[in-house]
Amino acid sequence: MNLTLTDYLTILPAAFVALGGVLLLVVDLFIPQNRKGITALLSAIILAGGLGTNLALGGAAFPAAFNNMIVLDGFAAFSNTVVLASGLAGVALAFQYLRRLNLERSEFYALILFSTSGMLLLNQAYDLIIVFLSVELLSIPLYVLTGLARTVNNSEESALKYFLLGTFASAFLLYGIAMIYGATAHTNLPSVVSAITDQKANPTLLLIGAALIVIGLSFKISAVPFHVWTPDVYQGAPTPVSGWMAVSVKAAGFTILLRLLLMAFPSLSTSLSAVIGGMAALTMILGNLLALVQKNIKRLLAYSSIANVGYLLLAFTAYSNPQIASDALAATLFYLVGYGLTSFAAWAVVTSMEQAEGRGLEIEDFAGLGRKRPLLAAAMAIAMISFTGVPPTLGFWGKFYIFRTAVESGALALALIGLLTSLLSAYYYLRVVVVMYMKPGEPEVTSDPWVNLLAYASAAGTFLLAFFPGSLLDVAARALIKLF
Amino acid sequence: MNTIPAEYYLILSAILFSLGILGVLLRRNALVVFMSLELMFNAGNLAFITFARMYQTISAQVVVFFVMTVAAAEVAIGLALMVEIFRTKRSIDIDQMNSLKG
């Protein structure tokens, strides 16, 4: 097998970030304890470099590289951009926070880089083995990051829960891949597809395998009924880690789930689309209902992220309807961007409210924020309005496009559930806004320039991009041109 | 030469996988849960090897080495987490992991 330059170019973004992480671990040894800001800066530079290479290479159409193991198409490049940008946002959230809470361990940045490289590989995976390996590469550093605040009981407990359930999910994924291999004698996606279209595949094993893979990945994106770990982990993990993984893991997980189902297993759509539709309905309903009763803001945002996964799952209604598949994909990418910006605005405000591990996180603690820090409160208000799906925000357009594809593919009931649960969600999102502006209080807020910047920038993005939804959707749609 | 039919291995692997699931769902000691998870991984490995022998390919046998490496990395993380928790709580019983709920 001869490797050519394009092979290396295809994995360049992921390789850049992973090698950067290894180098960072070494370089960090020579940085004195009181100047760890340099480590944070270096990790941000590595992520920005990865983003740059990804954007530079994303436009070129490379054939699948490394014997069809890795592909860098527009779809992967778009998700890579989301993942790398949220990595940068994660570093911005964490830098001062870690120092303030005495959690400053410089492995943090290397672990973020390793996990990010796993997500990039997952976006680009073209072989089921790469899917498994990159899921592990993204998960194992995440388990450590969740338990970063060790000796704090909540953090350790959430890390163990995440670890046990995450590994459980990986085992399902692995067994599913083994079954697909058994059915088709290949793990390579194009070969799997051609084995299925040539009717050479064993249908029973194929169905079992695809179902197990869907279960395994549903854990990672926290779709109901595989969501139980999410609130505990988001509450127990250090806040920047929760905010970062709420966006990036879901982006990578949805990318690979869409790639697998729409590309490799369209023949199973009759059996699987009903299951995924049911999962979407359950996720929308349960995520929103359980969010109603939360008092802790991190748990509230965790359930909100579950509810958003429900809306994203509506994209799979196009599964049984290939002619609108690329519309559904574009709507999903659009929704992911809107969800990412909105989430980071909300999590940045939560990060600056948190004064000690777990302190300052009840919704009541936000009382008086509107008077004390009007800009932060405005960012939070925009985030909550966007999560609810009220115009003019990206959240509104995201839901609009997703519901539209659901209606076009004939899933009226699901779109209706989505609309009703969005109405329901107004109660708990707007409660935060009411507490911020109407209730008197003296909140303790830290002024952290990077977190402030992130909050303002994401909130401004959520608000301003909502005036040009068409052009953003065009970017997403253009990313997908060469996919089908 | 008589060889054991591939179906037997597949059935064994399915049984191991199910035992692993039952262990994860029923046992309360985090260490035993973790051992059940390893059982599930090895059930996957056994299935891979069986299919590799059926199809006479080498690639799926290499996969097993990857999986073993990943499992080893997970052992390192998992045991470290359990040691940390045991230091603070003096127990790794999953039922006592209840400070986060709601």
pLDDT at B2 over 70: no
Residue-wise pLDDT for B57-93, tens only, equals 888 889 999 999 999 999 999 999 999 999 888 888 8
Q: Looking at per-residue confidence, does A434 or A151 come out higher?
A: A434
Instruction: Please state the length of chain B.
Output: 102
- B57 min Cα distance to partner chain A (Å): 9
Total domains in the fold of chain A: 1
pLDDT score for A104: 82
Domain region containing B51: 28-96
**Both structure tokens of A355:** 């004064």
Partner-chain contact B74 A174, CB within 8 Å:
no
Distance CA A463, CA A454 (A): 14
Output the DSSP codes for A329-354.
HHHHHHHHHHHHHHHHHHHHHHHHH-
pLDDT score for A91: 95
**Both structure tokens of A286:** 């349960």
Query: Is residue A418 a part of any domain in this protein?
Result: yes
> Averaged over A294-323, what is the pLDDT?
88
Query: Is residue B16 a part of any domain in this protein?
Result: no
Query: Is residue B66 a part of any domain in this protein?
Result: yes
Partner-chain contact A156 B41, CB within 8 Å:
no
Query: Would you say A277 and A283 are in contact if contact means Cβ atoms under 8 Å apart?
Result: no
Range from A89-98, A352-361, A456-465, B67-76 carrying the lowest mean pLDDT: A352-361
pLDDT score for B38: 95
Query: Would you say A393 and A256 are in contact if contact means Cβ atoms under 8 Å apart?
Result: no
**Both structure tokens of A229:** 């770990």
pLDDT score for A5: 84
Query: Is residue B77 a part of any domain in this protein?
Result: yes
> Averaged over A215-234, what is the pLDDT?
93
**Both structure tokens of A257:** 């789930």
Q: Is A161 on the interface with B (CB under 8 A)?
A: yes
> Averaged over A232-249, what is the pLDDT?
94
Our CA dihedral for A429, A316, A84, A15, rounded to 10 degrees, sits at: 150
User: Cβ contacts of residue A283 below 8 Å, gap of 6+?
Assistant: A223, A224, A227, A306, A307, A309, A310, A313
Residue from A146, A365, A140, A364 nearest A244 by CA: A146
pLDDT score for A482: 59
Distance CA A440, CA A462 (A): 28
Range from A368-372, B7-11, B71-75, B96-100 carrying the lowest mean pLDDT: B96-100
Show residues of chain B in contact with A150, CB under 8 Å.
84
Partner-chain contact B44 A177, CB within 8 Å:
yes
Cross-chain CB nearest to B51 (options A174, A181, A296): A181
Partner-chain contact A177 B51, CB within 8 Å:
no
User: Cβ contacts of residue B58 below 8 Å, gap of 6+?
Assistant: B52
Query: Is residue A63 a part of any domain in this protein?
Result: no
Distance CA A239, CA A217 (A): 24
The number of beta carbons lying within 10 Å of the beta carbon of residue A419 is: 14
pLDDT at A431 over 70: yes
Show residues of chain A in contact with B78, CB under 8 Å.
163-164, 167
Q: Is A70 on the interface with B (CB under 8 A)?
A: no
Range from A79-83, A247-251, A319-323, B12-16 carrying the lowest mean pLDDT: A319-323
Q: What is the mean pLDDT of chain A?
A: 90
Residue from A286, A308, A290 nearest A299 by CA: A290
Show residues of chain A in contact with B57, CB under 8 Å.
185
Domain region containing A317: 277-484
Residue type at position A164 = L
ipTM over 0.90: yes
pLDDT at A105 over 70: yes
Buried b (16+ CB within 10 A) or exposed e, A435-464: bbbeeeeebebeebebbbebbbbbbebbbe
Cross-chain CB nearest to A236 (options B57, B100, B102): B100
Helix (H, G, I), strand (E, B) or coil at A118: helix
**Both structure tokens of A9:** 């170019």
Q: Is A167 on the interface with B (CB under 8 A)?
A: yes
Which of A135-139, A354-358, A438-442, B56-60 is the most confident on average? A135-139
Query: Is residue B101 a part of any domain in this protein?
Result: no
Instruction: Please state the length of chain A.
Output: 484
pLDDT at A484 over 60: no
Range from A8-22, A174-188, A193-207, B63-77 carrying the lowest mean pLDDT: A193-207
The number of beta carbons lying within 10 Å of the beta carbon of residue A234 is: 30
Q: Where are the alpha helices (DSSP H) in A293-411?
A: 297-313, 325-353, 369-372, 374-388, 394-408
Query: Is residue A196 a part of any domain in this protein?
Result: no
User: Chain B residue closest to A132 (CA)?
Assistant: B67
CATH number at residue B69: 1.10.287.3510
Query: Is residue B7 a part of any domain in this protein?
Result: no
Show residues of chain A in contact with B84, CB under 8 Å.
147, 150-151, 156
**pTM of the entire predicted model:** 0.94
Give how far the C-alpha of residue A5 lies from the chain's centroid of Cα atoms, to the nearest Å.
31
Q: Is B97 on the interface with A (CB under 8 A)?
A: yes
Show residues of chain B in contact with A147, CB under 8 Å.
81, 84
pLDDT score for A411: 86
Distances (CA, A) of A382 to A389, A392, A455: 10, 10, 10
Show residues of chain A in contact with B59, CB under 8 Å.
187
Query: Is residue B15 a part of any domain in this protein?
Result: no
Query: Would you say A207 and A268 are in contact if contact means Cβ atoms under 8 Å apart?
Result: yes
Q: Looking at per-residue confidence, does A103 or A244 come out higher?
A: A244
Q: Looking at per-residue confidence, does A66 or A336 come out higher?
A: A336
Residue found by looking up tokens 């291995």 in the block? B9
User: Cβ contacts of residue A378 below 8 Å, gap of 6+?
Assistant: A459
Total domains in the fold of chain B: 1
Using CB atoms within 10 Å of the CB of residue B7, give its burial: 0 to 12 exposed, 13 to 18 middle, 19+ buried. Answer: exposed
Q: Is B48 on the interface with A (CB under 8 A)?
A: yes
Residue from A255, A64, A181, A80 nearest B67 by CA: A181
User: Chain A residue closest to B70 (CA)?
Assistant: A136
Cross-chain CB nearest to A129 (options B66, B84, B92): B66
pLDDT > 90 fraction of chain A, expressed in percent and rounded: 64
Residue-wise pLDDT for A5-45, tens only, equals 888 888 999 999 999 999 999 999 999 888 888 999 999 99
Q: Is B16 on the interface with A (CB under 8 A)?
A: no
Cross-chain CB nearest to A174 (options B41, B82, B85): B41
- B18 min Cα distance to partner chain A (Å): 11
- B37 min Cα distance to partner chain A (Å): 6
pLDDT score for A360: 66
Confidence of residue A99 (pLDDT cuts 50, 70, 90): confident
Partner-chain contact B57 A167, CB within 8 Å:
no
**Both structure tokens of B22:** 């039952």
Our CA dihedral for A47, A51, A52, A55, rounded to 10 degrees, sits at: 170
Partner-chain contact A231 B78, CB within 8 Å:
no
